[in-house]
Amino acid sequence: MKLSTSGNLPMLGQTHGNRSAVTCHLKCDSACASPPPNTSSEPTFAEIAAGQLSRRALLIGGGALAATAVAPALMPEFAAATEGRRAPGERKVSGRFPFDPIAPVEATKDALTVPPGFEWTSILRWGDPLFHNSPAFDPEHPNAEAQELQFGYNNDYLDIIVTDKAGRQALLVCNHEYTNRAIMFPPTGSQAAEAEVLRTLMAAHGLSVVELRRGGKGKPWKYVRGGEKNNRITAYSLFAATGPAAGSELLKTAADPTGKRISGTFGNCAGGTTPWGTVLSGEENFNGYFKADPAAPGSARYGLKNTPSTYGWEKIDPRFDATTPDYANEPHRFGWIVEVDPQDPTATPRKHTAMGRMKHEGANVRVDDDGTVVAYMGDDEQFDYLYKFVAKKKYKKGDSAAARRHNLTLLTEGDLYVARFSGQQKPGNDNLGRGTWVPLTQNGKSAVPGMSIDEVLVFTRLAADKMKATPMDRCEDVEPNPRTGKVYVACTNNSNRGVEGKPGTDAPNPRPKNKDGHIIELTEHKNAADATTFDWNLFLVCGNPDDAGTYFGGWDGPVSPISCPDNVAFDTTGNLWISTDGAPSGIGKADGLFRVPVTGRERGHLVQFLAVPNEAETCGPVIHDLDGSVFVAVQHPGEDGAWGDQHSYFPDYVPEGSRPDRGDWRGPRPSVIQVTYK
């Protein structure tokens, strides 16, 4: 049977940008199909860049770029771990984690594909009971109290933090970005039952912290039901606001006159684990959860609309109707970086206003030897910006309680910068540009004329517009390489780049109608985290390698096709791993996980490690190469809800006929999986 997608879902089968219509509708309120909220492109920059662009296009087309690309010094560790050139699928790729790359997988394949010699198992699936008193998974009877005690839906950011020397204990931390009511639960007949469904969806958002155990290194992990540190954070857990805008008039509501106590988190996309052991999570597409006045300050710039919200929570909770005076500021309480301490389930999670408000993809911290702490952040919207936060205080080394207490304050104070790229070239480097980190705040005060510090932090997009930041092709993960300090910026795609009436191509966003995305490699001046200028070059211009204009770090041998880079991670040798979201509409293949060296002879030699099932996106890669394990969060498998002959029951599907009481209805379960040697 074809599942009825009741409610306000769009027609199935359409696509917006690079995703299915259902994913776009649920995840980002079909942002790519709407006019981009940034209408403040900087015309002078496009002109400056034009000269460089035509030259780059020529170089890429002629294959000359490889010869002129920057070639960082060969790192000894990496040199030992690499071999000569080879094509995907031809021979084993060596290194500390050898595997035979897989060939591209058809987008309709309803299975997870891993290299030969590997196997995968799930660690946690939506609905798995986390506590001793958790009810068993029962999607026939949606129940918010039960869901609060179970693993949430649509896992995104993921980390597996090993907590003992023997490697037998770990904490799994995971975001639950959004929900898909139509494929989670069967239709209900009554308003009361539908209200409980809405509450259950709220409980399926947020984050999970779950203890893991295993028999020893290299063995698969299992989760511990009732683990002491197990925790669920939902769309109605209590958060504390920190930083200059905490307590601001702009954050006060009828329910919270302090402007410091915020209920819940949602739209939690990617994130990062800090050196002090906490997890940062980005509140991304918060706008789709509100009905709001688009004429209110900042509203339109953040995509807020005066229509029923995508999720309908305003039907059960008045704070989601921001058209009322009581809750006009409620949308301002979302769009932050949140910090969660997985070691302490009793700690109140925090929202850091010093890091700005945007559609935060995530945040990744770099700490220099002198203790300087910065966090890199992308605002994932067409033509939005790249940011850096520089903490005021220095990192304290060690595990002492005092060091830990201190480090927990690092993200509450500091300065926020936005990136302005320039096409200026260094002599002799055709593939290199310059850039400036433009301050939005300085010494805790506004650096933006005409805006107060509260306004800069709450309406960060408007502040960055004023300072003429460079509009980007949707910055997703922005992550420093722990071995080199170079920062990798995944620009996932931008179907509107260069379209009439929209900003044109420029040096850091060189492709019109950029459906496959690219990755920028950024080097801070003197490799200092808090530098105010940087050099940059294009590391990858993704797509089918046969297509003109694609570029793979100067590698001129065969590579795997790749489209829509989203989350990135590094292994212990400093190789970049890239997970993708949107490849079916880009290169016409399933999304997956890829590995590419960034230094040495094999720089740019990109190969595919796994592919996710039908309609899923690959999230949260975690690479434990020394341990022979790779983890990914498989998000929104079977999203379009096309059942019948096109079952998407990954990864723990209900076998046909095993639940006769459910009739034809059954849904997929987003899951965290581990890939290990057989």
Name the binder of 454 from Ca ion, ligand FEO, none, CB < 5-8 A by kind.
Answer: none
Stretch that binds Ca ion, among 342-350, 475-483, 496-504, 628-636 (CB under 5 A): 475-483
d(CA 615, CA 345): 34
In terms of DSSP bridges, do strands 565-570 and 607-611 run parallel, antiparallel, or are they unpaired? unpaired
Q: How far is the CB of 270 from ligand FEO (least distance, A)?
A: 7
* Closer residue to Ca ion in complex, CB, 284/506: 284
Name the binder of 535 from ligand FEO, Ca ion, none, CB < 5-8 A by kind.
Answer: none
Q: Does 490 bind Ca ion (CB under 5 A)?
A: no
* Closer residue to ligand FEO in complex, CB, 379/455: 379
* Closer residue to ligand FEO in complex, CB, 377/467: 377
Name the binder of 430 from Ca ion, ligand FEO, none, CB < 5-8 A by kind.
Answer: none
Q: How far is the CB of 205 from ligand FEO (least distance, A)?
A: 13
Name the binder of 284 from ligand FEO, Ca ion, none, CB < 5-8 A by kind.
Answer: ligand FEO
d(CA 448, CA 545): 43
Exposed, middle or buried by CB within 10 Å (0-12, 13-18, 19+), for 609? Answer: buried
Size of the site for Ca ion (CB under 5 A): 4
Exposed, middle or buried by CB within 10 Å (0-12, 13-18, 19+), for 257? Answer: exposed
d(CA 614, CA 591): 9
Single residue of 473, 581, 602, 615 touching Ca ion by CB under 5 A: 581
Reduced 3-state DSSP string for 249-307: HHHCCCCCCCCCEEECCCCEEEEEECCCCCEEEEECCCHHHCECCCCCCCCHHHCCCCC
d(CA 642, CA 586): 21
Name the binder of 571 from ligand FEO, Ca ion, none, CB < 5-8 A by kind.
Answer: none
Q: Does 566 bind Ca ion (CB under 5 A)?
A: yes
| CA distances in angstroms from 12 to 92, 178, 640, 642, 643, listed in the order given | 40, 19, 7, 9, 12
End-to-end Cα, the chain, rounded Å: 37
Q: How far is the CB of 28 from ligand FEO (least distance, A)?
A: 7
The encoded tokens of residue 365 equal 């911290």
* Closer residue to ligand FEO in complex, CB, 269/623: 269
Burial 621-636 (b: 16+ CB within 10 A, else e): bbbbbebbbbbbbbbb
Name the binder of 314 from ligand FEO, Ca ion, none, CB < 5-8 A by kind.
Answer: none
Asked whether 210 and 227 are in contact (CB, 8 A), the reply is yes
Q: Which residue is nearest to Ca ion (CB)?
A: 581
Residue whose pair of structure tokens reads 């049977």 in the numeric block: 1
Side chain identity at 674, as an amino acid letter? Q
Q: How far is the CB of 166 from Ca ion (least distance, A)?
A: 33
Q: How far is the CB of 269 from ligand FEO (least distance, A)?
A: 3
* Closer residue to Ca ion in complex, CB, 506/566: 566
Q: Does 491 bind Ca ion (CB under 5 A)?
A: no
* Closer residue to ligand FEO in complex, CB, 284/317: 284
Name the binder of 317 from Ca ion, ligand FEO, none, CB < 5-8 A by kind.
Answer: none
What single string gives the DSSP state of each residue in 335-360? S-EEEE-TT-TTSPPEEEGGG--S-B
Q: Does 379 bind Ca ion (CB under 5 A)?
A: no
Task: Give the footprint of Ca ion on residues 263-282 (CB under 5 A).
Answer: 269
Binding residues for ligand FEO (CB under 6 A): 177, 269, 284, 361, 380, 476
Q: How far is the CB of 495 from ligand FEO (least distance, A)?
A: 15
The encoded tokens of residue 544 equal 């089918």
The encoded tokens of residue 247 equal 């307590």
* Closer residue to ligand FEO in complex, CB, 32/102: 32
Q: How far is the CB of 619 from ligand FEO (least distance, A)?
A: 8
d(CA 334, CA 176): 15
What single string gives the DSSP state of each residue in 630-643? EEEEEESTTTT---
Stretch that binds Ca ion, among 106-114, 222-230, 293-301, 472-480 (CB under 5 A): 472-480
Asked whether 278 and 412 are in contact (CB, 8 A), the reply is no
* Closer residue to ligand FEO in complex, CB, 271/349: 271
* Closer residue to ligand FEO in complex, CB, 56/515: 515
* Closer residue to Ca ion in complex, CB, 82/492: 492
Which stretches of the chain bind Ca ion, using CB under 5 A?
269, 476, 566, 581
